[in-house]
Structure 1
């Protein structure tokens, strides 16, 4: 069986300034997304959040436009412009009507080449970032996640909070933000993806205009993901009636030949909502938690399988025992024929939902480029999934899932741990 769904991808340009394009003139909208390696991996220890704060400042005024004037210019032309710093990458994007493309190009270029860094705008953005860090890191869930990643990758950027802490954000100086942007926003090392109402010749000209004025050279390559430190079990004391649990183990990189089989195994384990084994065992059968999920995080060229749940302090030990038992059973026996069939049906049937608008298409193309996917990867994906046999899934589950290496962080006051 072959699906009719296809995504015609064109390659525009060559070398450092090339882009993947899905051209579509049915709606007069253009979405452009681009990325460099770097992001929070450039932050120095104790100054976490520098790249994230620098990214936020790029839309807070540029050139002769202060923050309010810059925001008004974006709003008047209905342009969405955004910059973000991830753990190991720095991304920019804009979305606009085709008629507003020249203005979107002007403002995006101005943001990257002449950011203002006005003191009042910086303190406003810093205050917002500090409030966000406190919300994210000082809750039980935030404390569990922070401790989990710090213990799994001690001394590596993967173990640090990419958006910073209230303490680190407070001491970041404006000159550090400028230095980060100087090192990050370069003409080389770029990945570009575009979707919508733009022709290849127009896109080639756009790329030269948007990125041609940036300094030559590429950002520093982030350090590779080190070996996952299977640290066993740790408890972060947090007063309250419930505990938040984060657990995980080593994963695989996106380039692993068993990647698609692993997606099936992980959906069966904890990625399929009420159809997953963990949800059935932990919630439906025993009522130990409201929800539990598992997925794979890809970062620094590697992967980590991680999951979480929250439960009453007195139920943490039992919920963990059940989770580990489900993990071990799937590792030993693999998915059933019915589970394999359901997972393949979901993964193939949901594929077109990733491409409902130009912004999502551009984001997907960018992710494909970051993961070194070939141009025809999407067109053959469903056939590859349908070709996976139960023997393949059993073999993958046995090598992928490592219940003995499962590391657990509990933030709360768990009973019996």
Structure 2
């Protein structure tokens, strides 16, 4: 569930880039690698972001968790360095590398000073093209992953997210946690790490951005040196799938004084013509904090929860509209009922002029404050590429939000909000729910 929230936040942050803020240039390396570049020579620093489409959804059949384990082991020894040597080399160069994975992407981040850029790139290249995956490192990281899995099995929020995923995508990689299970992770071998890397880290699914003290003439050869040796093609992508969500409540018994609730219905893709109208509607319904309808009805008027939220989750292969809250066991049934009622009201499409104006003001005015620093901009640029946005998007984004009308909101509400498909998962000892 937390990963879904973060994925949704990352996707929606892309929708908030301030107009006319940056000048994006498209660069193609001599070897044909394409990237987006924003030059910023005020400080001698460059941020580099690389994304590989597919992410953990490209786990081999029966080996759930292999790409997650591989990603976490990438910098545990590479090239001429063992694990400690690799970390020491990063520190000596004042460089910072990051490796992460979610259901849709494997992310590589790099921050480097201009004076050390060539050496930092060579070090990063060793992790991308020549990781050791030695047995001791694999076993050590495996232990860390198993600890996370064990912790999640005792976490009501994680249990709710897992149950909701299984309902929505029973026969798809999205339906299981990308960490894998204790059994699947224990069975992974060192050879699986090399296979996992080849499945996902390939040039046919790669997007790149760079922001900072680097020119197009410098960036092109750097990309070839860093990424040119990666395989041309990776594993076949999984198919797109519709979430199999139907209305009702699923209760997962768990001994806790407070129930955790996750809920979802089918959503819409980011390239859907109605996405901006849905984005505004979601702000009104549940993403607007204390100004949202759900927060007002469930918390402010009735005191049933400390907080309730909704968010759009436009994954690459399936889209949902999700939300969640926590409530005392003796109050959670009423909280679920009020949420269902507000969903039904929202499905009529009726919004006030004030609600629409407030949502637009927030979406066009608050988010741009987040976009400061080379690293943030580099992250946004790869998100734009992954979501098929052109370089001119930053000049049109706010206008798209402002153009949403009450009729647009009504249309998307009637089209998408479906109380009959809203599935709740309640983890706890809820009174009045079975």
TM-score by length of 2: 0.92
Contact 2:242-2:319 within 8 A present in 1 as well: no
> Could you give the per-residue CA deviations for residues 3-42 of structure 1, whole angstroms, max 9, x where no partner exists?
8643211100179510011111122221111112222112
Greater shift, 138-147 or 351-360, is seen at: 351-360
Contact 1:152-1:231 within 8 A present in 2 as well: no
Greater shift, 40-49 or 393-402, is seen at: 40-49
Q: Report how far residue 138 of structure 1 moved.
A: 2.7
3-state SS in 2 of match to 1:164? coil
How far apart in 2 are the matches of 1:399 and 1:13?
A: 41
Partner of 1:13: 28
How far apart in 1 are the matches of 2:336 and 2:72?
A: 39
Partner of 2:416: 400
Partner of 1:142: 158
State yes or no: 1:166 paired with 2:182.
yes
Partner of 1:110: 126
How far apart in 1 are the matches of 2:299 and 2:283?
A: 16
State yes or no: 1:68 paired with 2:84.
yes
Greater shift, 219-228 or 232-241, is seen at: 219-228
3-state SS in 1 of match to 2:270? coil
How far apart in 1 are the matches of 2:115 and 2:379?
A: 22
Contact 1:223-1:300 within 8 A present in 2 as well: no
For the aligned residue pairs, the C-alpha RMSD in angstroms reads 1.7
How far apart in 2 are the matches of 1:346 and 1:251?
A: 22
State yes or no: 1:221 paired with 2:237.
yes
How far apart in 2 are the matches of 1:310 and 1:212?
A: 48
Partner of 1:360: 376
State yes or no: 1:27 paired with 2:43.
yes
Contact 2:243-2:319 within 8 A present in 1 as well: no
Q: Report how far residue 333 of structure 1 moved.
A: 3.6
Greater shift, 111-120 or 182-191, is seen at: 182-191
Contact 1:334-1:395 within 8 A present in 2 as well: no
Partner of 2:74: 58
Gaps of 5+ in 1: none
Q: How many residues align?
A: 415
State yes or no: 1:350 paired with 2:366.
yes
How far apart in 2 are the matches of 1:288 and 1:92?
A: 41
Q: Report how far residue 46 of structure 1 moved.
A: 4.5
3-state SS in 1 of match to 2:203? coil
Q: For residues 175-324 of structure 1, what are the structure 2 equivalents within 5 Å?
A: 175-230=191-246, 232-324=248-340
How far apart in 2 are the matches of 1:236 and 1:210?
A: 47
Q: Report how far residue 136 of structure 1 moved.
A: 2.9
3-state SS in 2 of match to 1:375? coil
How far apart in 2 are the matches of 1:377 and 1:165?
A: 40
3-state SS in 2 of match to 1:359? helix
3-state SS in 2 of match to 1:310? strand
Match of 2:429 among 410, 413, 416: 413
